[in-house]
Amino acid sequence: MAYLFTSESVSEGHPDKVADQISDALIDHFMAFDPTSKVACETLVTTGQVILAGEVKTNTYLDVQAITREVIRKIGYTKSEYMFEANSCGILSAIHEQSADINQGVERAKPEEQGAGDQGMMFGFATKETDNYMPLALDLAHKILQELSYIRNNEPNLIGYLRPDAKSQVTIEYSDDHVPQRIDTIVVSTQHDDFAAEPEMLAKIKKDIVEIVIPRVKANLKPELQALFNDAITYHINPTGKFVIGGPHGDTGLTGRKIIVDTYGGKGAHGGGAFSGKDPSKVDRSAAYATRHIAKNLVAAGLCDQVLVQVSYAIGVAKPCGLFIDTYGTAKVNMTDGEIARKVEEIFDMRPYFIEQRLKLRNPMYSETAAYGHMGRKNEVVNKTFVGPNGQKISQEVELFTWEKLDYVDAVKAAFQI
């Protein structure tokens, strides 16, 4: 019997994403000025306030207030009526030194013996149902909000009432053999300016989303995905009605509270650890990227149609406790999932130091991950400039989303004789 599956996304102006972006901007600055920094930085945002807390071991000093205000300004919280504004919000920093007890378990005389920064399990997932090997419902939910954000920032004359906070949700009907059949429901809630003629403007918001945003998203999809859109889609656009009060004024935001949006939209699994605000010695982040890298290369190599990869660690220990593979019965080789896992361990060294080296994780590459998902993004090289508290500047080329590279496809094919 056919079934429905749903995923959601949130915009860069969502309060939890504001917190993530601030935490990751701090990570990037620490990495730029001292790549050996050990950082765990949490952010809380609410009406007119930002609170920074966490643990740091570094050889640099940052103006965390200036960095925080620039992030908020870039997101678009620049007006006093938002009740959370870049120039006027209060910023309290409670960042302190990292625990020596934790650090002794991570740093070693030999770098390759670096221990995991925490215990836990991390998951990576990939599926061939989209070109970026991501679950379709999440991919569409991200794309809807990315288009909305693009219009807000670049075409204000097209839709001029948009404010930064927004959420989307897409429900897809699948056949018994897990093939997408149609889009059943699309939900979009977008913050907007206050209106005098409320009923008329709420109708206009729905019309603009359905007739402007959705067609632009659809136009950039492959024909087989465009065919999933039809006149029978149920749209819920700002279903509560007015959405003027939003962002950190409408809802307190915290780092790491959108971990399903950040990953696979509920497909596969999640180990529970957030990403933003953590340097790559924290395997919550680095090993989640590494397992995505493995999963994507396995599917791209034709080993299976979709796959879940799990790795687990003990704090302070370099060697993983175990590697698990689930191909959901889609493997194209005559091997059990356990046999596939043992072969994968021979291809990918999952010790923390080697993950950092393979994926170039000691570079300031994290701000771009903090909105619209850490997975399924474009691998590219960009030039970034960072300004220190004394005016010193560092400019460098940074490769983004290295875990999305298909650079191990040939190695996978050779190992499995595909």
42 assigned ligand-binding residue: yes
348 assigned ligand-binding residue: no
CA distance 71 to 23: 10
Q: Backbone dihedral region of 141: left (phi > 0), alpha (psi from -120 to 50 degrees) or beta? A: alpha
Among all chains, which residue has been given the structure tokens 């859109």?
229
Which token pair is 235?
A: 């749209």
CA distance 149 to 127: 27
Pairing of strands 38-46, 49-57: antiparallel
| 90 contacts 50 by C-beta, under 8 angstroms | yes
296 assigned ligand-binding residue: no
16 assigned ligand-binding residue: yes
- Sequence-distant (6+) residues with CB within 8 A of 119 are 312, 313, 314, 315
257 assigned ligand-binding residue: yes
Question: Nearest 10 degrees: CA dihedral of 84, 89, 90, 91?
Answer: 90
Which token pair is 113?
A: 């013996």
98 assigned ligand-binding residue: yes
258 assigned ligand-binding residue: yes
Which token pair is 89?
A: 């919000």
251 assigned ligand-binding residue: yes
The strand ranges marked E within 89-246 are 90-97, 120-127, 162-174, 180-192, 234-237
34 assigned ligand-binding residue: no
| 33 contacts 60 by C-beta, under 8 angstroms | yes
Instruction: Kindly list the distances between the CA atom of residue 192 and the CA atoms of 74, 202, 238, 256, 392, in Å, as whole numbers in the listed order.
Output: 18, 10, 10, 25, 39
279 assigned ligand-binding residue: no
356 assigned ligand-binding residue: no
55 assigned ligand-binding residue: yes
243 assigned ligand-binding residue: yes
Going by the annotation, the residues of the binding site for ATP are 14, 165-167, 242-243, 251, 257-258, 274, 278
Numbered residues of the known binding site for K(+): 42
Binding residues for L-methionine: 55, 98, 251, 282
- Give the annotated binding-site residues: 14, 16, 42, 55, 98, 165-167, 242-243, 251, 257-258, 274, 278, 282
Question: Residues forming the annotated binding site for Mg(2+)?
Answer: 16
